Amino acid sequence: MDFRPLALCAVLTIALSPNAIADPLVTISCEKPEGVSMAYGVSLAERMNAPAGGQSGKVEPSLKGPTKDEYRGKPTFVIDSDKKNVVISWTEFPEDPELQKQAKESGLPHLPPVPAARGSVVGFFDEQISAVQAEPWSIMTFSFFPKLGIAFISQQAISLASKNTHQVASFARCQFSWTRPQ
């Protein structure tokens, strides 16, 4: 199933809502971001394999990675003409066999699309546009390079249950569609 129409509907729903952002200035459509991830903490496997009892059973947190990582979806960003806000939507790859397997095992006919989110543009220059999406326990940063046709996407997060932290740094090729010439 192609989720692009659903993502477009989500972006349009937000854009047409009473609290809508200003008119779109640029739409940035990216390929699947690829990069590396690192984590700090104690993995579930390490916790399960730790010897029982006493101090000898305590597993110390450690740095893991970097390891090759990628997002499963393609991001689309719509920056408003005021250059203050960005709407962020992700579409899933329907041809991803692992994703389809997980959905089937969970009893889902398909996984629902990730809801569109909002972020703040913190810098807007000819060479680089920077934005952030801050959530409790997670932040994503986006650096767009219009003249190069790429984006740098990073995320830092903490799992409150395990106290582990995780970071992803990735690049994606992107197309920039401007509503007025730049």
Question: Is residue 130, in this structure, part of any structural domain at all?
Answer: yes
For residue 174, the enclosing domain spans 33-43+61-92+117-178
pLDDT in tens, 28-69: 999 999 999 999 998 877 878 877 655 555 788 899 999 998
Work out how many domains the chain is built from and give that number. 1
Question: Is residue 146, in this structure, part of any structural domain at all?
Answer: yes
Are the C-beta atoms of 169 and 39 separated by less than 8 Å? no
Question: Is residue 76, in this structure, part of any structural domain at all?
Answer: yes
Q: What is the pLDDT of residue 93?
A: 60
Question: Is residue 3, in this structure, part of any structural domain at all?
Answer: no
Question: Is residue 136, in this structure, part of any structural domain at all?
Answer: yes
pLDDT in tens, 134-163: 999 999 999 999 999 999 999 999 988 888
Question: Is residue 103, in this structure, part of any structural domain at all?
Answer: no
Q: What share of the chain is helix, strand, coil (3-state, %, to 5)?
A: 15, 50, 35
Question: Is residue 97, in this structure, part of any structural domain at all?
Answer: no
Report d(CA 43, CA 165) in Å as an integer. 10
